[in-house]
Chain A
Amino acid sequence: MSSSVTRTYVLQATQPGDFTIGAATARVGQGTIQTAPIKIKVVKSENAAPNSGLLDQGQKRDANLFCTISLSKSKAYVGEQIIATYTLYSRYSSIESSEYDMPKLDGFWAEEIDLGEPGFNSTATVNGIGYRVAILKKQVLFPQRSGTLRLSPMTLNFRVNRSFFNNGTAVRITSNSAEVIAMELPAKPADHIGAVGELKMDVEVANTSVKANEAIDLTVKFSGRANLKLIDAPKLNFPTDFESYDPKITDRITVNGGGMNGSREFQYLVIPRHEGDYNVPSITFSYFDPSTGKFKQLSSAPLDFHIAQGDGSAALVTRPSKTDVKQLDRDIRFIRTGDLALEPKNHHLFASWPYVAGLAAPALAFVAFFGWFRRRQKLLGDLQGLRRRGADRVAKQRLKEAEAALKANDRIAFYTAIGRSLEGFFADKFNLGVAEVHAAMIAEKLGHIEGGSLAQQYTALIAECEMARFAPFENKARQQIYDEAALLIRRIVDQP
């Protein structure tokens, strides 16, 4: 079971400054419990009360009832807060408002200050005349452009001194107009986010070591007294492997006599897509401080993220689609290092003397080799080889006719051709007439070779061809006859 007891205290600050309310202690049963001390910063209320000049003018317009517009500043930077107060001074005891026309706020961003129930809450004396004073309206104005910005006069319609018997008198009053000279900000730094005032930045990261594809919450909080509602979301430069979404904006802003105070929080959802160690350089933003007239830069500590390999489940759900490698910038390729392949200047191999020599050398060597080879062949007497090649050619030539007949399958022509070839070859070889070719002559000329067997075979083949021309049958195949004839011719040619 739990229960609570609440004590409420209302405090009013009498002067600006930093105050600390000490810890409250309470005895509960046996022990003591304690609260944390509370720090309070009391800011000075903007002095927006009308000055005597304005009051004099107002009194001159109507000594019984007049209104003023007063500004806390007549000169301000663009975006700087100005408090405008609309005040009514009255000597009438009974007054009813009917219609009023508030000034047009051209070139301003305005925020109403909540005053609670309006009414004649105070009194003032102007030039010896006492007035009841009501603050009709209070606004925080932020000039949006430079130049002279004008608040047109407000017009109010009242009915005064109305009673049961009297319908009262209609009174129409007009206030003064007001002017603000809005000054342009000096050259803006790139990281200016539009803030003018006094700011503090807190960067908070819930977890710097997560798994890939798990979300990281990153909060950037601006707090202080400034045009908080006009602060843009700061751009964070995350590594390209981080996916970041538009921030969620949470405002805790109060508008009161001190102007616009509080905080604006940008909550970023960042999802790292790949594991690794990433270093995000410190996040910096600039705001304009009107009290010094200069930009001030806020920066966070650098952030180090350690991203572990994501587990399959998370990756399965949010695996990013394949993306192209982004070309961030261009630069020239790096120099060549190591072997630069240096060569003497203006030296070319082509058409140089060594080159010509290099081309000529193999050619000359070949010619020399060819000559030497031929001579050596002759010297070694490799006539056998030469003669064999010659004999082949001779046999083939002699038997050309027979070969044709063989192919034409003409029996008589074949045997005639073989016989004639053998006789012709023998006659040519030994310089004889065809008539002189007979067995005796063959024996005489070829008898010394291979013990006479060549002569015998030669004669026998001629006789066989003679017979086969007329006989009705053949003893051997024609191809065999042809080969025998060729062999015989070759053997004769081969003789040294």
Chain B
Amino acid sequence: MRMSLILFALFALFTKVSADVPNSASAAEDAYSKGEYANALAIFDSLDRTYSSASLLFNIGNCHMKLGDIPHAVLYYERAIRIQPGADDIQSNLDYARSKVVDRVSELPALTLGSLWDRLRGGKDLDQWARRSLWACLFTFLMAAGFVIVRKHLLRRTLLVAAVIGFTTMVLSIGLAAYRLSEVTDRSQAIIMQPKVDVRGEPRDGSTTVFVLHEGTKVSVLQEQNGWFEVKLSSGSVGWAAPGSLEVI
């Protein structure tokens, strides 16, 4: 009995277990289909407080987009694409939302190897590489055990190769899982939420306005001081944005 419980716990660890989709999710979908975007948004938002999901963030972004709230739409699409890089629909809507943003800040070419890399490291959820590393670990040691038992020369050699491949996969998966976690928990980027934000030279009201940003623009956050954010544009300009003027992705 205890053995089966442990086995079940292990199995749960190795496969993706989705939380039950609450009924409210389908109610929100209905509302959205009927064009009642505000109602749909309220339900999706309440789900967002307890759950995390790229699809959920994407849907919230869509609601904001339909309600004409571009900065929030950009914010949520950015959050969604971070969880699921390379997702066509999210990327497409994000591009559309960005096209409505006033500021044209030249986006630095991201350090990616293209969409293939996005798809490889992305996937449906965050934990896929962690799960893959567990599978690879299990595989590696099963092959190693086989190597110990088996006497036949050719089979032994095959098992050894398989074990080495499994081990390499495990190390790579652990690396990718760690990378993805750091990517998702990164809090260094933000979206400007107010229609017009004076970015100042010092973190206080009344200091020189260095440049002006408009809603929906993506900035890097260098540090926070008394609620003020030191922001940096991809063009290299640095300044301080007032509290509440931006939201971290």
Chain A residues at the B interface, C-beta cutoff of 8 Å:
330-337, 339-351, 354-355, 357-359, 361-363, 365-366, 369-370, 373
Contacts and interface: CB of A to CB of B under 8 A. Distances in A.
B140 A343 contact: no
A332 B55 contact: no
A334 B66 CA distance: 11
Given A332-B96, A336-B58, A350 B177 contact: yes
B61 to A, nearest CB: 8
B101 to A, nearest CB: 14
A363 B137 contact: yes
Given A343-B18, A349-B130, 15 more contacts: A332-B65, A332-B96, A334-B62, A335-B32, A335-B58, A335-B62, A335-B63, A342-B18, A348-B181, A355-B130, A358-B134, A362-B141, A363-B141, A369-B148, A373-B148
Contacts of A373: 148-149
Contacts of B52: 342-347
B156 interface: no
Contacts of A362: 137-138, 140-142
A365 B178 CA distance: 25
Interface of B: 9-10, 13-14, 18-19, 21-22, 25-26, 29, 32, 40, 47, 49-56, 58-59, 62-63, 65-66, 89, 92-93, 96-97, 124-127, 129-131, 133-134, 137-138, 140-142, 144-145, 148-149, 174, 177-178, 180-181, 184
A343 B124 CA distance: 11
Contacts of A365: 141
Contacts of A358: 10, 13-14, 134, 137
B127 A350 contact: yes
Nearest to A345: B52
20 contacts: A332-B96, A332-B97, A336-B58, A340-B21, A340-B55, A340-B56, A342-B19, A342-B47, A343-B125, A343-B126, A344-B50, A345-B51, A348-B127, A348-B130, A355-B130, A358-B137, A362-B138, A366-B144, A366-B145, A369-B145
Contacts of A369: 145, 148
Contacts of B130: 348-350, 355
Given A350-B177, A358-B14, A341 B54 contact: yes
A60 to B, nearest CB: 70
Contacts of B66: 332
Contacts of A331: 96
A332 B181 contact: no
B231 to A, nearest CB: 25
A333 B130 CA distance: 30
A6 B14 CA distance: 102
A488 B243 CA distance: 92
Contacts of A343: 18-19, 51-53, 125-126
Contacts of B148: 369-370, 373
A1 to B, nearest CB: 73
A176 to B, nearest CB: 60
A346 B49 CA distance: 11
A347 B53 CA distance: 11
Nearest to A357: B13
Nearest to A351: B181
B30 to A, nearest CB: 10
Nearest to A360: B137
B134 A345 contact: no
A342 B21 contact: yes
Contacts of B62: 332-335
